Structures are given as structure tokens and as C-alpha cells.
Structure 1
Amino acid sequence: MQKILVFTDAFSGGGAEEVMGSFCSVLKSKYKVLHVAKWKGPKNYPIPYWKISLNKKSLKKCIPYVIWIIVRYKPDIIFTSTGHNNLLFLILKMFYFRKLKVIIRESSVASVMNSFTLKSRLINKLLVKPIYKRADCIIVQSNDMSNDLKVKYEIANRKIVTINNPILLKNTALLSTPQSKDENSIRIVHIGRFSVEKGHSRLIQIFKQLPEKYTLSLIGDGKLMDNIKILAKGLKIDDRIEFLGFLQEEKKLEVILKSHLVIQTSYVEGFPNSLLECLACGIPAIAFNVPGGTREIINEKNGILVEDNNIAEMVDRIINTNWSNYNKEEIIEDVSMRFGIEKISSKLLKVFHEI
């Protein structure tokens, strides 16, 4: 049985970590899987495969341990996710472990994601562009991501495989539990870490223009949360906004199921798990039409796409759409057929079989 070494920032927490965890569960049916992470992550549920948490705050401090694990474990394939991890293992392949097969998973539209800061632009130019070509295979989640790697990074088409993120709901019992919604107010939910690319600032500007019957629940944490709280307070709308922080799945589902719609205001996305989660609960969506997988998820059955950064149109569509007209069962059936774990699993196993 071939050995796979999987490396992520954590075992749970963000979308990339959740997806990689589900992929590990699929791969362990055919391979011996060792999952190594910088730290264990915030969620508490059992992981049904061999795992090692290095309990380190930075990737740099993980390097000696990673090299030792590769030497001792002798994996046939390395599977990593997110840019900094991908770069590390591709560099190790270049200089130390040339016979290793390395499969990387890109988590967003790379050229856009790497454009927000001077540091990321330099890393993109000096490292990502030349080194990503060393990967044996690159898994992306959307057509935009695939085209970005082909055009902006000149990656060979044969190395790129598109595998959508699967629906990751584990606790589905709540879905069949009747949920009461306050019909005197309209509750909007947004899920995502507080970072620049998630567009919380423009979300607050949108919410400022909505009537008082609208409330906003923000799930997630991050460095920019305090800045967004200050912005909301300055606009005198903080009394209608809940800053809920990171929530375990059951609590998160309770908030989602009490909501009338989910909103996404990101500037770029890979294949947004939070959007899939809400749709899998039957909650309709509204989002800006940005690079990434959002435009492949939202259709006429489940929501509305708005021209990117058209704040006026976003406000108008939120106010003038009868969100109760969307059929919950149709939304759930549609996303389950397109992004169920069974469909995604077969594509993933094919990649590892053919590498």
C-alpha cells in the first residue's frame, strides 16, 4: 500500500483545512495516510487516520520536523494545501527529495490572492511563478483558478485538475429540525475570517444602507475583526450586528438555519465552503461575481450574483427580493447533486491513482 504524507496548517478551522481533512478520509480507503499539521486546530472531533500535530506557530519552525518525518516515513506522495505550504514542499522536492511525487492544492485564484500586499506580490513573482511548475499535479477548485494558472503562471494543462470542494456538513440532524424565523426582521449571515480579501468593509457599507428590520450575523474571527467593529460603531449600526467569532459546527448551523439569506462580499474566492454550507441548509445566497468558484455555485435556483463592487445593485437586490420564494428543498437537492462527497471522492482517487 502506497504512503501519502498530507500537510496542512491545522486539522480543522478554515475551509482549506476542512476540505483536506475530508480528502484524507477518502484517501485512507486506498492508501496509508499520515496527516501532519502545524497545530491541531480549533474544532473538537475525532480524526479517523494517523495524525501528528507539530504545535508550532510558524511554518519555518516546522521545517526540521518535516524533513525528519519525510526521511523516517518515506512517503510515496506528498499532498499539501495553501501557497506557503505548497512552496515549502516543492522547494524540498527540488533540493532534497527529487523522486517524491508532490501534489499541491491551490486554495484561491493565485494571481489575485497574491496581489493584496507588496510582500505577497514579491513572493508571487520570485517564488510562486517559477516553483509551482515543479509540482507533479495541481488540484484547483474552479475554472477561474485553472485558467489563472495556465495563463498567468504558464503551468502545463496536463498538470492541472479541477476538483470542486465537497459539501462538508457533518451534523445533518439539525437540518430536519423545524426552525422558527422572526418574520418581523430579515436576518443575513456572513461566514469568513476577518481578512482583506473577504470584503468585510464593503459588507458593512452595504448593511448601512439596509432598513432597520435587517440584522447581520458575522461568523468567523481574524486580525481585522476589531477594525470592522470600530467601523460598524462609527456608522451607528453595531446594535444590529452580531460578532459571533469562531463557532463549532452545531452552533454555526443553528445560526445559518435561522437566517433568511447568506451574503458573500469577497474580492476573490477559491470555492467557498461557507457558501456551500449555507446552500446545503437550504438558505439562498447573494454574492458579488468575483474571480473564483462563486459563479459556478450560485444559479437561478439558489440565489443572485451581482456585478462586482456594485454596491447600489447589491442593496437593491437584497431589499427587493422575496427571499422566502426560494424553495429550500430544491436548493439542497441541487447543491447535493453537484457537490456531494461521493462525486468528489471518485475524482480525487483517480488523480492519486494516475500520478
Structure 2
Amino acid sequence: MRSKIFFILPTLFAGGAERIMSFVSQNLDKEKFDVTLIVIGKESESKFKVSGIPVIFLNKSRVLNGFFAVCKIIRKEKPQVVLSSIAHLNVMMGIISVFIPKPKYVGRQAGVPGTPVNYNKPRKQNKSLITFFFDYHSYGFKQLDYYICQSADMKENLIQFRGIEEDKITILNNPVTQIDIIKTSQSDSKVKKYITVGRLSEAKGFVRVLRVLSKLKFPFHYTIIGEGSYYDTIINEIDKLGIKESVTLINYSDKVANHLVESDMFLQGSFSEGFPNALLESCAVGTPVIAFKAPGGTKEIVEDQVNGFLVDDEEEFLKRLNDKREWNPQEVRESVYKKFNKNKIIKDYENFFYKILD
């Protein structure tokens, strides 16, 4: 008999967690797993196409508004495993597990919470409100039966900052989802082409990347693909640095792989990362990367001077941008494909489900 698995997401927006969860849900062995994807958000706002499995849209404007609808579906369908992703949804699923304890509840951790980073600024907030939110958040999260992390740093973070028992945590890396496009050779264009794909937020470190790029003495073009609340700040920084003609912002593209192939290097400025999917996809198409060393999964993907560079600061970032070495796209691709190919990662997920259902 097939094992019934529910995957639950807040939305199918254009984010890394959404893409990976929908990808895994579609690719599990259908002879062994009966998979349903539940999306709390609106179908009209979805960016990913899902096929081969049932998809239920609750069409709610907020995760919390889906609480009773999710409870109703779980009671009726009686799945054996419920796998959710993204922090606030994981907390809600932990609360639901108190009332409906039968399925195994698994929270996929999509970031490195509790990591001190220098981009945070103090804000005046109501202390009692913060205490309530923290207690509610912590309680809900700890009610989950199991946790999936994408990197060793994320696992250590859950143990140290959240007090989660180690035997409840499993590391499952994200898979390479793009396999049919690859660079054929390094570009010989006189204008260096750089790219970053990701949410426009302070945490992603766009400002420090722009600062470094403004110091280059040769022609370049930098493409940023993403949406987010930091858009105006990025635009203002571009204007201030006088590099408006050298930067293009694209809010969304369903041809990201093509943009990656056409670029010379992927640039990551993040102060912390979960498991950077866009960076992984860049290497998978043969485009090397330059990334700041940061907590999370970046260092598990980037092999320094094999598929890119890991740097300590802006000065070293600039030095690597000026590096004139030639990269072999096939070698860059192979560095990640051997570790994160689809077949391996899907098998890891299937083995995880076998283990917790045993």
C-alpha cells in the first residue's frame, strides 16, 4: 500500500522553498507514495506549474487563515506524513499536531534563524508582544515530530538556538532541478556579465555587492532577478554609486537558467543563507560564483577555485572579480551535479519517509 504524504506550502510564489518542495513532491516514486500538495495561498498568484499529483489551493490571504481548512483536510484524508516548509507555517503545523496528533509532522527549515548578522538594526517594539510571539513561535515549532535541514549549519542552529534534539533532525540537501541547459564555453565579450537571483531583502547583501561593482575599472553589466521590499533601497544605491547604466532589475523570469548561462559569474552577497538554490542552479549550468562566507549551506556548494570563490570581505570580493582565470563549464557543473543530482536527493527523501514510517 502506498504511503500517503501531504506537502504543505504557504504559496507557490517564486521562491527557493516553493520550488524545491513542489519539485520533490512531483518526483517521489508514485508507486510507493500517494502525494498531495496543499497550498494555503491563491492559485491565481502561483508561479510554478505542478503536474502528476493533486494540488489543493485553499486560496487564503494569510497562513493563519488556513488553520481550520488544513485541520479539516488532515482529519478527512488521514495522511501518514505532513511535510511543511517556511517558518510561520511550520509553527502552525506544530500547533495543529497538538489537536490532530496522528500523522508524523515534519518541518523543513528554509533558513538559519537566530544567526547574528550585522545588517539588523534595533527597533522599538512592545516587549510583551515580542515575548508572546516568541513563546508561541517556539512552542509551535517544538511540537513537530521531525525536522529537515539543508545544511550542517542549519542543523547546528536548530540544536543550539532552538533546543531541538539531534535525533529528530535530518540533513537533506536541495536537488539540482535544471539539467537540460549548460554553458558551452566561457564568454569572450569585453563586457563582463554578472547576475544575482534572489529575494530583494537586506539579508541578501545586494548593497555590498553593488559597492564592490562600482569600483571595477572595466565594463560590466549586472542583472538582478527578484522581487521584495528592498527594491527602492537597491535602486537608490545604484543611483548613488553612479552605475545605473550597468545594472538591470527583473522582477520575475521563467527563463532564469537562460540568464544564468549567458552570465560570466553569479554574485552572492548574503549575510546568511539556508541552502542557496539559485547559486546551486548557477553552478549546475556551468556558471561559476563569487560568494561571501556566511552561515548556511553556501560553503557546502561552493568549492573554492573549483566552481567559484568564497571570500571574507569586500576587498577580497573585488580581487576575485578582477581574476582573469578561465573556467571550464563542465567542471563547474560536475562539482555540484555529483553531490546534488535529482536522483540522489529524491532517493534521500524517500529513505527519510521510509525511516520515520517504519
Tell me the TM-score normalized by structure 2.
0.90
Does 1:155 find its partner at 2:161? no
Q: Distance in 2 between matches of 1:62 and 1:98?
A: 18
Q: Distance in 2 between matches of 1:224 and 1:207?
A: 18
- Letter aligned with residue 8 of structure 2: F
- Counterpart in the other structure of 2:95: 91
Does 1:75 find its partner at 2:79? yes
- C-alpha RMSD of the superposition: 2.3
- Letter aligned with residue 3 of structure 1: K
Give the superposition deviation at 1:129: 3.5
Does 1:36 find its partner at 2:38? yes
Residues 121 and 19 (structure 1), Cα distance of their counterparts in 2 relative to 1, 3 Å cut: farther
Q: Distance in 1 between matches of 2:110 and 2:50?
A: 24
Higher alpha-carbon deviation: 341-350 or 265-274: 341-350
Give the superposition deviation at 1:131: 3.4
Q: Distance in 1 between matches of 2:115 and 2:131?
A: 13
Q: Which runs of 5+ in 2 are unaligned?
A: none
Contact 1:179 1:258 in 2 (8 A): no
Residues 20 and 113 (structure 1), Cα distance of their counterparts in 2 relative to 1, 3 Å cut: farther
Q: Which runs of 5+ in 1 are unaligned?
A: none
Does 1:312 find its partner at 2:315? yes
Contact 2:196 2:266 in 1 (8 A): yes
Secondary structure of the corresponding residue to residue 10 of structure 2: strand
- Counterpart in the other structure of 1:108: 111
Contact 2:185 2:328 in 1 (8 A): no
Higher alpha-carbon deviation: 144-153 or 61-70: 61-70
- Letter aligned with residue 318 of structure 1: L
- Letter aligned with residue 348 of structure 1: Y
- Counterpart in the other structure of 2:307: 302
| Alignment of structure 1 residues 224-303 onto 2, 5 Å | 224-248=230-254, 251-299=255-303, 300-303=305-308
Q: Distance in 2 between matches of 1:291 and 1:142?
A: 10
Secondary structure of the corresponding residue to residue 7 of structure 1: strand
- Letter aligned with residue 18 of structure 2: E
Contact 2:178 2:257 in 1 (8 A): no
Identify the match of residue 221 of structure 2 among 207, 215, 222.
215
Tell me the TM-score normalized by structure 1.
0.90
Does 1:203 find its partner at 2:206? no
Give the superposition deviation at 1:210: 1.8
Give the superposition deviation at 1:121: 7.2
Q: Distance in 2 between matches of 1:208 and 1:42?
A: 36
- Letter aligned with residue 308 of structure 2: G
Residues 254 and 8 (structure 1), Cα distance of their counterparts in 2 relative to 1, 3 Å cut: same
Summarize deviations over 1:66-123 as a string: whole Å, max 9, x none.
12212222222111001001000101112x1122210110001121289957689757
Summarize deviations over 1:277-330 as a string: whole Å, max 9, x none.
1000111111000000001111131011011xx1112112211x124x221111
- Counterpart in the other structure of 1:333: 334
Q: Distance in 1 between matches of 2:133 and 2:194?
A: 35
Contact 1:28 1:49 in 2 (8 A): no
Q: Distance in 2 between matches of 1:137 and 1:51?
A: 24
- Letter aligned with residue 175 of structure 1: I
Higher alpha-carbon deviation: 7-16 or 119-128: 119-128
Summarize deviations over 1:8-41 as a string: whole Å, max 9, x none.
0223521001110122123352221111112345
- Letter aligned with residue 73 of structure 1: E
- Letter aligned with residue 235 of structure 2: K
Give the superposition deviation at 1:271: 0.6
Secondary structure of the corresponding residue to residue 138 of structure 1: strand
Secondary structure of the corresponding residue to residue 182 of structure 2: helix
Does 1:17 find its partner at 2:18? yes
| Alignment of structure 1 residues 334-349 onto 2, 5 Å | 334-349=335-350
Q: Distance in 2 between matches of 1:100 and 1:88?
A: 15
Contact 2:94 2:140 in 1 (8 A): yes
- Letter aligned with residue 182 of structure 2: L
- Alignment identity in percent? 28
Higher alpha-carbon deviation: 6-15 or 39-48: 39-48
Identify the match of residue 61 of structure 2 among 38, 57, 61.
57
Identify the match of residue 155 of structure 2 among 143, 146, 166.
146
Higher alpha-carbon deviation: 126-135 or 252-261: 126-135
Aligned length: 345
Secondary structure of the corresponding residue to residue 114 of structure 2: helix
Contact 2:200 2:229 in 1 (8 A): yes
Summarize deviations over 1:141-170 as a string: whole Å, max 9, x none.
000001111112221111000011001116
